[in-house]
Chains A and B, each alone.
Chain A
């Protein structure tokens, strides 16, 4: 573990903030860090750039992170895990806070000269952020308060999946499984990569807390898996 200062805190919504670190981590999109808040717990967080994490407050530790003060120190271990595989023609599918690692991926792909489309789903308009960061984006809200009414699946039905070399997916478990079924139905699993989440302890592949049904570890073998590998 090493310490880094939080140089900037950018509040994005009432419960989401991006924390910028004073150091840049040697990392690739899709990888995560274990972040230790002194006095709280150590938790896994996806990187939203090489020097930032974007956090949603869901508990004590995440709440203290989004309310951290600039200049405060946090402990960091990582970057850990597998990364997304680059492609020239990409579709990014994100639900909720799952958009966080996708911004890193998007920026990386743009640097590679890739053509990228984004589908971003939220429950309601007030949870949305980063809409201006993506050139070609389709937004869905479940309550219809912004963009397409419905879920990311409703947006995916409008896409020509054949046009894409890779489809990258990150979001809640329910959204991932629904998207998996959708892509399977359309024979698109082979080109899909899913980013999974699990409760983690060691973060480095030895304790087995985050093992999924095929025996792979989310922290070390994942969090990014080729969709055809998933035992769903």
Chain B
């Protein structure tokens, strides 16, 4: 019996560690490498059209994490579907989608459902903080977000997850999405931040602001998971500043059934392997399974 096994929205995973979207997720070769140890991988967010993203600098590391404004750089959906045909399928593959309208999300699902038979699900990016009219702006509109989920649930057999931000009214949004049929909620995407360069007197990032990730946002994301666990029935995936196995366990105990690893890849390329081994050691020492620990911080 695998003590790390978990399940979200009908998706069985060998362990609760998922690769977060936007991290090493734009090339099938890095997805294949990470899938060896990850429980699932989420691709880079992709839209209908190719997007070049922002001019460098796009990533700044600071004391407690990263600030990024990569700008959803991605190939067009059709080209990305072609790229993903070489996926080795060692772990479930979820495609992160961003769009500006119900029609765009619908077109994206048509493209991927028809091209990739082994696709395991979608994660709707309703929270990316650095592209106008998509991401966070969609998630701010409860009616539009619900309409997108309803439309997609009506046309794909694959599970549909939604990624929210701590900057949303996330309890209300999650409830609305759950009622619309969403299969799970991921929280949180990055938060808005910026850094100013004192030498030039200008913002460091060419996009002025960017998404803040890393250990700095972990307490915020953890609280979001804890709050959501009390309010919704669908599975929660925690994401935000996870760099150690203790962090993983905190999110599980707060109510997450899985966690996404993102900026920790900066610290170690072997982060999935090392977290997996540490979690196995913990479950053996405590004679429990990951499923036993879900939400125990609430009792």
Task: Tell whether, in the assembled complex, residue B56 and residue A215 are in contact, meaning their CB atoms are under 8 Å apart.
Answer: no
Chain A residue at minimal CB-CB distance from B35: A215
Which residues of A are found within 8 Å of B34, using beta-carbon distances?
Answer: 215
Size range of the interface on A? 20 to 34
Task: Tell whether, in the assembled complex, residue B200 and residue A38 are in contact, meaning their CB atoms are under 8 Å apart.
Answer: yes
Task: Tell whether, in the assembled complex, residue B30 and residue A209 are in contact, meaning their CB atoms are under 8 Å apart.
Answer: no
In the complex, which of the residues A38, A215, A220, A221 has the most CB atoms of chain B within 10 Å of its own CB atom? A215
Which residues of A are found within 8 Å of B204, using beta-carbon distances?
Answer: 1
State the Cβ distance, A84 to closest chain B Cβ, in Å: 20
Q: Once bound together, how far apart are the Cα atoms of A124 and B56, in whole Å?
A: 33
Size range of the interface on B? 35 or more
Task: Tell whether, in the assembled complex, residue B269 and residue A208 are in contact, meaning their CB atoms are under 8 Å apart.
Answer: no
Task: Tell whether, in the assembled complex, residue B263 and residue A208 are in contact, meaning their CB atoms are under 8 Å apart.
Answer: no
Binds A, one of B6-14, B58-66, B133-141, B164-172: B58-66
A182-232 interface with B by 8 A CB criterion = 200-209, 211-217, 220-221
State the Cβ distance, A9 to closest chain B Cβ, in Å: 19
Asked if A122 lies at the interface with its beta carbon under 8 angstroms from chain B, I say no
Task: Tell whether, in the assembled complex, residue B202 and residue A41 are in contact, meaning their CB atoms are under 8 Å apart.
Answer: no
- CB within 8 A of A206: which of B32, B53, B199, B265? B265
Task: Tell whether, in the assembled complex, residue B73 and residue A209 are in contact, meaning their CB atoms are under 8 Å apart.
Answer: yes
Q: Once bound together, how far apart are the Cα atoms of A139 and B59, in whole Å?
A: 40
Q: Once bound together, how far apart are the Cα atoms of A201 and B56, in whole Å?
A: 6
State the Cβ distance, A199 to closest chain B Cβ, in Å: 9
Asked if A153 lies at the interface with its beta carbon under 8 angstroms from chain B, I say no
State the Cβ distance, A204 to closest chain B Cβ, in Å: 6
Task: Tell whether, in the assembled complex, residue A201 and residue B61 are in contact, meaning their CB atoms are under 8 Å apart.
Answer: no
Q: Once bound together, how far apart are the Cα atoms of A204 and B30, in whole Å?
A: 15
Asked if B162 lies at the interface with its beta carbon under 8 angstroms from chain A, I say no
Chain B residue at minimal CB-CB distance from A74: B199
Which residues of A are found within 8 Å of B66, using beta-carbon distances?
Answer: 202, 206
Q: Once bound together, how far apart are the Cα atoms of A223 and B32, in whole Å?
A: 20
Which residues of A are found within 8 Å of B32, using beta-carbon distances?
Answer: 215
Asked if B109 lies at the interface with its beta carbon under 8 angstroms from chain A, I say no
State the Cβ distance, B53 to closest chain A Cβ, in Å: 7
Q: Once bound together, how far apart are the Cα atoms of A73 and B22, in whole Å?
A: 32
In the complex, which of the residues A34, A42, A200, A216 has the most CB atoms of chain B within 10 Å of its own CB atom? A42
Interface of A is mostly: loop
In the complex, which of the residues A75, A200, A207 has the most CB atoms of chain B within 10 Å of its own CB atom? A207
- CB within 8 A of A205: which of B60, B73, B269? B269
Interface of B is mostly: loop
State the Cβ distance, B8 to closest chain A Cβ, in Å: 24
Task: Tell whether, in the assembled complex, residue A204 and residue B26 are in contact, meaning their CB atoms are under 8 Å apart.
Answer: no
Q: Once bound together, how far apart are the Cα atoms of A42 and B34, in whole Å?
A: 28
Asked if A43 lies at the interface with its beta carbon under 8 angstroms from chain B, I say yes
Task: Tell whether, in the assembled complex, residue A1 and residue B60 are in contact, meaning their CB atoms are under 8 Å apart.
Answer: yes
**Known contacts A211-B30, A215-B30; is-contact A206 B56 (Cβ 8 Å):** no
Chain B residue at minimal CB-CB distance from A43: B56
B28-43 interface with A by 8 A CB criterion = 29-34
Q: Once bound together, how far apart are the Cα atoms of A38 and B198, in whole Å?
A: 12
Asked if A106 lies at the interface with its beta carbon under 8 angstroms from chain B, I say no
State the Cβ distance, B193 to closest chain A Cβ, in Å: 15
State the Cβ distance, B167 to closest chain A Cβ, in Å: 21
When each residue 159-175 of chain A gets 1 if its CB lies under 8 Å from chain B and 0 otherwise, what string results?
00000000000000000
Q: Once bound together, how far apart are the Cα atoms of A145 and B56, in whole Å?
A: 39
Q: Once bound together, how far apart are the Cα atoms of A206 and B265, in whole Å?
A: 6
Chain B residue at minimal CB-CB distance from A201: B58
- CB within 8 A of B27: which of A3, A203, A211? A211
When each residue 115-140 of chain B gets 1 if its CB lies under 8 Å from chain A and 0 otherwise, what string results?
00000000000000000000000000
- List the 3 closest pairs (A to B, CB-CB), nearest first: A215-B33, A202-B59, A208-B24
A-B contact pairs, 19 of them (CB 8 A): A1-B60, A1-B197, A34-B57, A36-B56, A38-B200, A39-B200, A201-B58, A202-B58, A202-B70, A204-B61, A204-B266, A206-B68, A206-B265, A207-B26, A208-B25, A208-B30, A211-B27, A214-B29, A215-B33
